[in-house]
Every structure is written in structure tokens, then in C-alpha cells.
A and B are shown apart, each in its own frame.
Chain A
């Protein structure tokens, strides 16, 4: 066979497909990245100039057209803190219980996972109205950061539970087998072996939950309210970043630059959450064996 015979063959069909899919793939990636860059560019163009030290510390003035978002940042932190304080322990324990003890009762597990899926699909405005009736009125917490945080906790609970549950399910069964064979109790198995193994999943669940919570407006307008002053306690009303952006964009003419600047801060916060989570789970995956 001569050397040239390979070069003379016609381009086969599959390599044409390769080219087509390559173009489609790169095209999709370019559209995605392009959209993101466009959005960031327009935010920076509109609001980049506002990002000074005073913007981060000051109180909004003139309905938010001028001034800063210091009080808004603090309200956001408080709402998120309350939300995570409730949803993380509750979510992790529910997931552990689902995966480790309900195993044998298929019908019960089916009911619980189905209702979690349903809860995850409930629009946030419904959670907002529920939170207003239950936390603000029935439990008499009023329009407060506490009511908002608790409402958000209920809203992100399904996300946390399903992610952490998936993490528990993916733990290799030999860990449970060895642990039982050594006579370790279920509690020890859970705390010392299963939770560390599920830690990356817990991180992912936390980040997904935080991202959903920090982006939320509808559930908060009816529970935390939107006053811009510095909250004195968690029983005070407060405005989160997303609510601030929504209010500036919808109700305040001339508030675009403030809205864009706040959006930039929000993006930065989300981005750093993702980085931290990715870092932690990389640490766990690479060195899951570490002491």
C-alpha cells in the first residue's frame, strides 16, 4: 500500500458531523459568554462610576437615587444569615433521615421526595404570601428581617434537601457496611463518616440555596418590607439588594445608576460564593482522605 492512499480518500461523513458540531458548540458558548459580557459591560457602564467607598457604607438617599447601600448590605446579610441558620441544619438532617432511615419504606420516601419536588416548583410569590400570613400575622413577627429570612429558608429548603440527599445517596455503600460490621452506631456513622463524605454536596446545596435566596424579591417584599434605614434588630423591617434593585428599576425614575451599581455588587457576592464553594469541594475531592 502506498503512502499517498490515505490522503486520497474522501472526507468521511462523520468528520463532517464533527465540524458541524464543533461550530454549533463554539457558537453556543460564544452566545452564552457574549450575553454575560454584554450584561456586565452595560452594568459597569451605567453603575461602575458609583462604586466608591461611600457607596458601600452610606444609607440610600433620595429614594435610592443617590447615597449608598450600606444599610441594604446589612439587611441582606441578616436575611441570608437567618435563612441559612434554619435551612442548612433542617435540610441536612432531613436529607440524612431520608437517605439513612427511610430506605426501607419506599412509599413514604416517594411521598416525601415528590412533595419536595413540588415545593421546589412553587413560585416565590406564593412563599411570600404564605410567609406574610404565617410569620408576619399569625406568629406576629410583623414585616421584619426575621419573617423574610424564615420565609426564604422554607423556599430554599427543597433545593438544599435534594442536593444533600443526592450527596448521601452517592456515598459508596461499603462505608455503611464496614461501619456496621465494626459495631458503630448509626449516629457515629452519620457524624463521623457519612457527613464528611457528603460535605462537597452540602457545599453545593448551600451555594445553590444562597444563590436562589439572594436573588429573591417577591418572597421578601411581603415579609421583610422595603424600608431603607439601618435595621436595629432582626424584628425591624429591612431591604435586601434584590428588592433594592427591583424598587429602583420599577418605582424610581433616575435610579438606573444605583440599580446597576447594586447589581454589580450582587454579582460580585454571588461570584465569590461560587468560588469559595468550588475551592472547598475541590479540597474535599482531591484530599478527601486528609485527616
Chain B
């Protein structure tokens, strides 16, 4: 399951407004297929908003207006004829707070599978398969019909990852997936995300620079310029950390700013 080369995501001149307030402007971004890209930067500079433009979760926000070009796999997702259900199946998303649905572990994964018309006979196998991929199978195989809300925080987060993986996505978006977890669970989830390298295109928002350092291939630094969030530096992790072109990005990555 090695992905073909090329850019999985290509964003040009993206601007996002909430009412009259511009939260993101002049954003140009690309993510290589099969690589892990870390999005870093201080709070409130639009990293999460950027992630939610990619699967059009911004549609849920009243008054949110997105302009510019967003290409996912050479397909413009900001056009009106984009199949949103299919788009969101191909782009999995995991949030900061682990929040499985209030139902059994198995149903958490099976319900989205049924919605996306995966064959009924395959559902049990796919549930097992995705739980194995998320490293949760051995911990929950005895209690698949128990409530997902009785799992620990780290287990819940891995269930959310399994739920997204079951739909066979090509891209996974993580919005600070470890920041609500204890250190041990955080390590488990981090290793899991690192293991997707080469198979999935991963975008991860993180406030933890050493985490970005450990798992990312590429990094993009967000910053606020003239009250608007934008990307001030992006490129391969080693190059950005060792020889940043933007002095503010350099100061931020060395822990002197932000």
C-alpha cells in the first residue's frame, strides 16, 4: 500500500473569513503523498481552521467564507459539485479531545462503514482490521459491545483513529491529537501516527515542537501577520529547523519566540 509520488494536497492563495474578520490569508501549502507534515505555531494563528478547510468542516460554521484554491488529489474540493461525503471518507480527521460516539466500541466503527455502503458481510472484518491498525484490538477484543465511553482517554483517541481508518482514507488530519492525553497514552498515539508514514498522507497540528521533530518529514510554521494567520515558512523538517529562511520562524523553532 505504498502511495504514488506527488502532492496529495495543494493549497493556493487560501483566505478564510469569519464574518468580516480574516483569520487566514495568503496561505500557500502543499503536502507530499505518504509524508507526515507538522503544522506548528502559536495559538490562535489559524492552524485548526486551516485543517478544517481541507475536509470542508468550515461549512458548519455560520458566516465562514473560504476563497482560494484547494486541491486534493488533483481535484478542487472547494467547487460546489464536490462530493462531500466521499471527500470526508477519503480525509479522516481526529480532534484534540477524544470523543467517540455514545455507543458501543463496535458500533462506533460500524456505523460510519454502513453509511458509506461498505458491504455488510465485510463490516466485522473491517472493524477488527481497523482496531488492529490502531493498536487497540488486543485491549478491546473481549468487550466490543461495551460502551466506548468507558475506555481510557488514550484508548478513546485510538478508537477515533480506528474509526477514521476503517473508511480507508488516503489523508489523515490530526488536530493536536495528544494534547489532552497523559504522557504514556500520548507516546502510544504518537508512535501510531508515525507508523502511518509511507501509507497515508498525514497532517498534524501540534504545540509540541519535539513531537514535530520526532515524527514529521515536513513542517509548516504558522504565524500572525497584520492580524491574519499565514504560513511564514515551510519545507523539509531538517532544513527548516537548522536553516530557517524566516527569522521569526527560526526564533520560534528554537524556543525563543511564541
> Which A residues lie at the B interface, using CB under 8 A?
103-104, 172, 174-185, 188, 192-193, 196-197, 287-291
Contacts and interface: CB of A to CB of B under 8 A. Distances in A.
B112 A291 contact: no
Nearest to B59: A180
A247 B97 CA distance: 60
A188 B111 CA distance: 9
A104 B84 CA distance: 19
Interface residues of B, number: 35
A192 B111 contact: yes
A180 B101 contact: no
A287 B149 CA distance: 10
Contacts of B92: 181
B88 A181 contact: yes
B102 interface: yes
Contact of A289 (B59, B60, B88, B102): B102
A174 B160 CA distance: 12
Given A175-B99, A183-B115, 10 more contacts: A172-B99, A174-B97, A181-B55, A181-B164, A182-B89, A183-B85, A184-B111, A287-B147, A289-B103, A289-B147
A177 B60 contact: yes
Contacts of B85: 183, 185
Interface string B202-232: 0000000000000000000000000000000
A279 to B, nearest CB: 19
Contacts of A287: 147
Interface string B49-79: 0000001010110100000000000000000
Contact of B112 (A174, A177, A184, A196): A184
5 closest Cβ pairs, A-B complex:
A289-B147, A183-B88, A289-B149, A181-B93, A183-B85
A174 B150 CA distance: 18
Q: Which of A103, A183, A196, A291 has the most CB of B within 10 A?
A: A183
Interface in B169-218: none
B148 interface: yes
Contacts of B95: 174, 177-178, 181
A164 to B, nearest CB: 18
Nearest to A178: B99
B254 interface: no
Contacts of A193: 101
Contacts of B62: 103-104
Contacts of B43: none
A182 B164 contact: yes
B112 A182 contact: yes
Contacts of A178: 95, 99, 101, 160
A176 B60 contact: yes
B31 interface: no
B115 A184 contact: yes
Contacts of A181: 55, 57, 88, 92-93, 95, 164
Given A104-B62, A174-B95, A290 B147 contact: yes
Nearest to A187: B115
7 contacts: A175-B99, A181-B92, A183-B84, A185-B85, A192-B111, A291-B103, A291-B146
Given A181-B88, A182-B164, A183-B87, A196 B115 contact: no
Contacts of B28: none
Given A291-B104, A291-B145, A177 B57 contact: yes
Contacts of B103: 289, 291
Nearest to A289: B147
B189 to A, nearest CB: 17
B116 interface: yes
B129 to A, nearest CB: 17
